[in-house]
Amino acid sequence: DTEVTQTPKHLVMGMTNKKSLKCEQHMGHRAMYWYKQKAKKPPELMFVYSYEKLSINESVPSRFSPECPNSSLLNLHLHALQPEDSALYLCASSQDTGLWGTNEQFFGPGTRLTVL
């Protein structure tokens, strides 16, 4: 299985809602990532988990809360979002090979989030 799956595909939420995005991979990868991609822009890194521990937080607002329950799952909990948070949220995974390896990241199809 060489896929990264994400659910839901689409999500519409109000600014007072609490929702979660889910990501799953079964490639045995030990690094997992959340990216945010606005329309016609490149993906921007939000969080990195390495061996189920948060290793990078790119100064993301606290209304985004990541969670890595196990090595195959990655969640992104959303609370009190703003309309400008509307974007495509991409999950990725890779073998955590460190600086001396390569870092091919496999991406999921993304969740299209709209905040009203």
Partner 1 sequence: GESVGLHLPTLSVQEGDNSIINCAYSNSASDYFIWYKQESGKGPQFIIDIRSNMDKRQGQRVTVLLNKTVKHLSLQIAATQPGDSAVYFCAERQGAQKLVFGQGTRLTINP
Q: Given the rule CB under 8 A, which residues bind partner 1?
A: 4, 31, 33, 40-45, 48, 50, 55-56, 90, 92, 94, 96-99, 102-110
Closest CB 67 distance from partner 1, rounded Å: 18
Nearer to partner 1, 82 or 97 (CB): 97
Closest CB 84 distance from partner 1, rounded Å: 20
- In whole angstroms, give the CA distance from residue 57 to residue 106: 19
CA angle 7, 62, 24 (to 5 degrees): 25
- In whole angstroms, give the CA distance from residue 92 to residue 32: 6
| 31 touches 89 (CB < 8 A) | no
SS3 19: strand
Nearer to partner 1, 90 or 113 (CB): 90
Nearer to partner 1, 69 or 104 (CB): 104
What is the rounded radius of gyration, in angstroms, for the C-alpha atoms of the chain? 14
Closest CB 29 distance from partner 1, rounded Å: 12
Closest CB 3 distance from partner 1, rounded Å: 10
SS3 5: strand
Nearer to partner 1, 45 or 80 (CB): 45
